[in-house]
Chains A and B, each alone.
Chain A
């Protein structure tokens, strides 16, 4: 079969463009997140054992520890509250888990909620200044110096994990922990998996504070880590997995 030089060049040119376009499309779809399953050696994640939490019903030690460590303002007006970790009724967190005929003991308790540090986070995708982004170790970070307070990330988060500082938070902080900055009005904040403690080799504040050992924190990419072992032992739920966000927080019912 004879092929002219012109045709050969045209064919190879188009093939290269097509191959490049496929890669570009795939890369654009991927986002700022990496799936981290083959990439980085570390992907921080957490497994929350709801059964152990039910045993110490209403203890809230995790919330108090987080609030103290991070200077989270306690604002009286519910509309303007700022929370990084809080609890919610099981039925609200997993509205589509079949709960009608399950034992009340499992479905009437409260569930600890925080930022899920998704592997494919919608919030980092929409931030117009990259004030929030996904680190290589899986943590979805906030840069309070760059945030312009547009609240697009709040609209994008399917889990309601983010809070906005509607007012200056300092008056609502009883004791300021000098080791961690407060934030200013007009920026968005959320759980940061205590990245400042992880940098010092410590575990997140909620993990350390829990008297029941509810929070199992570790490297999801290490098959022998504590969370991975826990996930092998029991079936775990995630919040709204069908959205494709791939959360790093799992719940053992």
Chain B
């Protein structure tokens, strides 16, 4: 097999080329992957549920809240930690979080095409004023 050299050599080049992104990233730690840079709320330490739960379930929670408020008129939410909140994206969620510094960061980073909520729902005035430079 005269071609063995070429075959093995070609394979080796291929493997190196394929794994090149990992080598380059290792070498250049500055360009390494960071998670999204979130602006956490200044005025509260805990959300209505633990961060892990919220990360996984916030969309489901919002849809449940939507149907509870709009279709059943039920605005009272008792959180797992026992506190009572109003079921409202604008008042409860945006009472602490800000859209540009929090929601949009993860959504853009992970390439989630957010549903068209923002076409109708607004950020409260105070939030918008605070974000303006």
Chain A residues close to B by CB (< 8 Å): 133, 135, 141, 143-145, 168, 170, 176-179, 181-184, 195, 199
- The residues of B that contact A181 with a CB separation of less than 8 Å are 90, 120-122
Question: With A135-B73, A199-B73, A199-B75 known to touch, is A178 a contact of B116 (CB < 8 Å)?
Answer: no
Q: Are A143 and B116 in contact (CB under 8 A)?
A: no
Minimal Cβ-Cβ distance residue in B for A185 = B119
15 example contacts (A-B, Cβ-Cβ < 8 A) are as follows: A133-B71, A135-B73, A141-B70, A145-B70, A170-B119, A177-B122, A178-B90, A179-B90, A179-B91, A181-B122, A182-B120, A182-B122, A183-B120, A195-B73, A199-B75
Q: Are A184 and B116 in contact (CB under 8 A)?
A: yes
Question: Could you give, for residues 100-133 of chain B, a 1 whenever the CB lies within 8 Å of some chain A CB and a 0 otherwise?
Answer: 0000000000000000100111111100100000
Q: Are B124 and A179 in contact (CB under 8 A)?
A: yes
Chain A binding surface SS class: loop
Q: Are B120 and A178 in contact (CB under 8 A)?
A: no
- The residues of A that contact B66 with a CB separation of less than 8 Å are 145
* Cα separation A135 to B124 with both chains bound (whole Å): 28
Work out how many contacts link A and B, with CB atoms closer than 8 A: 36
Q: Are A178 and B70 in contact (CB under 8 A)?
A: no
Q: Are A144 and B90 in contact (CB under 8 A)?
A: no
Min distance, Cβ A125 to any Cβ of chain B, angstroms: 18
Min distance, Cβ B16 to any Cβ of chain A, angstroms: 51
For window 36-60 of B, CB contacts with A under 8 Å fall at none
* Cα separation A144 to B91 with both chains bound (whole Å): 19
Minimal Cβ-Cβ distance residue in B for A187 = B120
- The residues of A that contact B123 with a CB separation of less than 8 Å are 178
Question: With A141-B70, A184-B116, A184-B119 known to touch, is A178 a contact of B124 (CB < 8 Å)?
Answer: yes
* Cα separation A143 to B72 with both chains bound (whole Å): 11
Min distance, Cβ A177 to any Cβ of chain B, angstroms: 8
Minimal Cβ-Cβ distance residue in B for A182 = B120
Question: With A178-B90, A179-B90, A184-B116 known to touch, is A143 a contact of B122 (CB < 8 Å)?
Answer: no
* Cα separation A199 to B91 with both chains bound (whole Å): 14
For window 55-114 of B, CB contacts with A under 8 Å fall at 66, 70-71, 73, 75, 90-91
